[in-house]
Amino acid sequence: MAQGTGHEGRISHRGFASMNTERQRQIASMGGKAVPDEKRSFSQNRRLAAEAGRKGGQSVPGSKRSFSQNRALAAVAGRKGGQSVPDEKRSFSQHPELAAEAGRKGGQASHGSSRPA
């Protein structure tokens, strides 16, 4: 019979991983609550958050950006994200005129049109 390390079949009763799921969630949520709102720069400054997101995206080589390489994958992800929002919170599905206005503005911005909305 081969000799083992003496650890076969042992279960640790110490540490984060051995805790039940509810206790793990409690501890994990404490980290976010430890910082007051006024110290959370991204919650206070959307422009700063957007800039950081752009920088993060630019740091990934194009060959590793799955959505830029695979438009079908991006479309599937977008649909899933949209479907995860309840109907009453979907502004455009509740207000078609708002969607039309946003579409016109987006078109004008991307095509450099100077036509009024």
As averages over each run of 10 residues, the pLDDT of the chain (117 residues) reads 54 82 88 76 82 85 78 86 76 79 81 55
Cβ neighbour number for residue 6 with a 10 Å cutoff = 6
92 inside domain: yes
Cβ atoms 80, 64 nearer than 8 A: no
Angle formed at CA 27 by CA 26 and CA 30, multiple of 5 degrees: 90
Domain range for 105: 39-111
The pTM of the full predicted model, rounded to 2 decimals, is 0.29
Q: Identify which of 111, 92, 112, 87 has the alpha carbon closest to the alpha carbon of residue 102.
A: 92
12 inside domain: no
Alpha-carbon gap, residue 112 to 106, rounded angstroms? 10
Structural domain count, the chain: 1
Cβ atoms 77, 84 nearer than 8 A: no
pLDDT of residue 22: 92
What amino acid occupies position 69? Answer: Q
Tell me which H or E stretch contains 55.
helix 46-58
pLDDT of residue 13: 77
Cβ atoms 46, 53 nearer than 8 A: no
